[in-house]
Amino acid sequence: MFFRIAHAACLALALAAGTAAAEPGDLAEFNDAMESASSFNRVAIGYLRTGNADLASIEIDQMRVAWGKLTARFAGHRPAAFDGLTLYSNLWTRVSAHLVAADIMLKSGRFDAARQSLDAIRGDFYDLRKAAGVAVLADCVRDANAAMDALMVYNDRALDWAKADTSDAIASKASSYGAALARCDGMASEPVRNSPEFRRLVDGAKASLAFIPKAIATHDTDLLHRVLIELRSFDNLLAFRFG
């Protein structure tokens, strides 16, 4: 294990040191390679969330293979969109370190810590693309997750409707989440946008959101609770499949 750690770190450092500008058009290839690695990462996160260590381990191994291919292709071949970004230079060692940490934590039975390491990889990808102004569906889904987190604050059985700003705050957070979903729907590729799975999740979330004005108007805490639970389920599945 320690040989693998040392080898991965040295390889990443050597490749990062030789980073050069790439030809136009490489960004699409880079994004596709990142999505390939990310798909294994998010499935592993999902399995860790449910405590399925064996399946998570398989996905982490596949993530490691995909990351190795991405490193070999792009650590020394920087797409122009990332010119001048230290985040790009640092990405290779950071992600390799997170993968090593996830592997160690998984083998020691610390599933939450392993998941945090994989979440950190998702964050590294997001931060890099955000800094470069590169927009992909996975990052839009991450933004939607954050908007859903803000809305879930109001999943409170003791919600005080008498407070002047309660209704307005819920409506505002619901509107923000709806807007995030609409952005993701709009930027998804046509095959993804038209896929039954994507449509079920996005359209299901939109349908659930439609009940929030009624919950606000009637001060129905139980209805709001049911709607938020439904929305969280859709949100989690979006992250699991497309984030």
Q: What per-residue confidence (pLDDT) applies to 11?
A: 44
pLDDT averaged per 10 residues in sequence order, the chain, 243 residues: 41 40 68 92 90 92 94 91 93 94 92 94 94 94 95 92 92 96 94 94 96 96 96 92 86
Q: Which pTM value belongs to this model?
A: 0.80
Please report which helix (H) or strand (E) contains residue 78, including its range.
none
Beta bridge partners of 21: 78
CATH fold of 137-242:
Four Helix Bundle (Hemerythrin (Met), subunit A) (1.20.120)
Cα–Cα nearest to 35, from 167, 144, 139: 139
| Cα–Cα–Cα angle for 129, 133, 139, rounded to 5 degrees | 45
Q: Write the DSSP string, 51-88.
A: T-HHHHHHHHHHHHHHHHHHHHHHTTSB-GGGTT-HHH
Q: Where are the domains of the chain?
A: 2-132, 137-242
- Give 51's DSSP letter: T
* Residue 192 · residue 137 · CB < 8 Å: yes
Cα–Cα nearest to 94, from 57, 62, 126: 126
Q: What per-residue confidence (pLDDT) applies to 161?
A: 92
* Residue 205 · residue 231 · CB < 8 Å: yes
